[in-house]
Amino acid sequence: MKIRWNPIVKKDLQVTARSMRLSWGVFAYEAVLTMAFLLALSVIQQESRSIYTTGNIYGYLIYLFPVLSIAQVCIVALIVPVITASSISGEKERQTFDIMLTTCMSPFSIVLGKVVSAVLRILFFVAAGMPIMALAFVAGGLSWSYLFYFVLTIILLSLLSGSIGILCSALCRRSITAVILSYVFYFFIYIMTLLPVIVRALLTEGERMGETMLILLINPFVFFEEFFMQLMTGESLFGVSGSNFTKREVGFITYNLSQGKAWLFLSAACIFILSFLFMLAAAWKVNPMHSSSGKRRKK
């Protein structure tokens, strides 16, 4: 059976591959990653001088992994909204979006195609950064499976960032407005979700948190923190077997989720569902049949 590509994914990749922007983008990505690597290496070298005699130098190189990973996560989080936030508004600016809507593609297929092409473009960057990442594995002695998990989390983050970008792109007429709105969404998801937890902790002195912490399931910061903790130390962010909490301090659900890897998997599922909801909202917004009155078109 022949697999049918989403035409938008195919077109976007085709157009991107021919653009000089891709080459410059990869160059910038590699440059930032190399700088992060060299900085981390110099810090590790300084640290290793004091412990050289103990023979632990290679043990320290394992910390290249979180440093490089976090650098990549930050770059991806910054790049993806720029790619997707201009995708639909860019089509509108080029006046190609109307033609797209008159074809047999459903609005959701259009939105999905745009997000998938953004994720694939990000994977292209990630693949280009693999040789630098590989140093952490060769020198730091990490398992290759960690790299696989890392790529999965990058895909998840790209999906979330991409879906935020596409929703903003559907909401705004101009690409620049869509990019700015994406970062406002980012602020709410990354920062504002921490606020209820902090306020509750301050009010109850951390003794009666209840289920407030469940909102952190959609926070990518917390997800990555948990991911690296699990990967590097085998412990949860919430301590070994959730030992940071007692059943009295947090609610029943939060307490049980803080055991083992449950939080990590549920958080991944929540981020995935959130991404899907953003994509559905974007598809609803771009569907002309869902617009109650529409706006007068400027000729």
Partner 1 sequence: MLYINDLTKNYGSFTAVNHLSLHIPAGDLFGFMGPNGAGKTTTIRIVCGLLRASSGQVRIGNTSAAVGSREMKRLIGYVPDFFGVYDNLKVREYMDLYGSMYGMYSRDIARLTDDLLELVNLSDKKEVYVDTLSRGMKQRLCVARALLHNPSLLILDEPSSGLDPRARVEMKELLKNLHSMGKTIVISSHILSELSEMCNSIGIMNRGQLLIAGRIEDVMGQIGGGNRMHIQIASGMETALRILKEQAGIKIESVRENEILILSNCTDQEINGFIGLMIQSQVILTGFYKEEGSLETLFMQLTGGSAQ
Region of 55-63, 74-82, 152-160, 287-295 interacting with partner 1 (CB under 8 A): 287-295
Options 11, 173, 247, 261; binder of partner 1; rule CB under 8 A = 11
Distance, CA of 26 to CA of 163 (rounded, Å): 22
Collapsing DSSP states into helix, strand and coil, what is residue 250? strand
Region of 14-22, 29-37, 79-87, 178-186 interacting with partner 1 (CB under 8 A): 14-22
Q: Does residue 296 touch partner 1 according to CB under 8 A?
A: yes
Distance, CA of 248 to CA of 1 (rounded, Å): 56
Options 53, 54, 145, 292; binder of partner 1; rule CB under 8 A = 292
Task: Please report, as residue ranges, which positions from 193 to 252 form the binding site for partner 1 (by CB under 8 A).
Answer: none
Q: Does residue 100 touch partner 1 according to CB under 8 A?
A: yes
Q: Does residue 270 touch partner 1 according to CB under 8 A?
A: no
Of residues 18 and 49, the one with the C-beta less far from partner 1 = 18
**Structural contact between residues 271 and 220, judged by C-beta atoms closer than 8 angstroms:** yes
Residues 171, 174, 180, 184: what is their CA dihedral angle, to the nearest 10 degrees? -10
Q: Does residue 297 touch partner 1 according to CB under 8 A?
A: yes
Distance, CA of 107 to CA of 186 (rounded, Å): 24
Q: Does residue 298 touch partner 1 according to CB under 8 A?
A: no
Buried b (16+ CB within 10 A) or exposed e, 170-195: bbbeebeebbebbbebbeebbeebee
- Nearest approach, Cβ of 89 to partner 1 (angstroms)? 13
Options 23, 45, 103, 233; binder of partner 1; rule CB under 8 A = 103
Instruction: Give the closest residue to 85 by CA, choosing from 123, 124, 111.
Output: 111
- Nearest approach, Cβ of 266 to partner 1 (angstroms)? 37
Region of 69-77, 89-97, 152-160, 189-197 interacting with partner 1 (CB under 8 A): 89-97
Options 57, 62, 70, 105; binder of partner 1; rule CB under 8 A = 105
Options 3, 18, 145, 148; binder of partner 1; rule CB under 8 A = 18
- Continuous H helices in 141-261: 144-171, 175-186, 194-204, 220-233, 252-257
Q: Does residue 289 touch partner 1 according to CB under 8 A?
A: yes
Question: Residue 83, Cα to own-chain centre: how many angstroms?
Answer: 13
**Structural contact between residues 88 and 159, judged by C-beta atoms closer than 8 angstroms:** no
Of residues 174 and 208, the one with the C-beta less far from partner 1 = 174
Tokens of 184: 């406002």
Interaction site with partner 1 (CB under 8 A): 4-5, 7, 10-11, 14-15, 18-19, 91, 94-96, 98-106, 287-297, 299
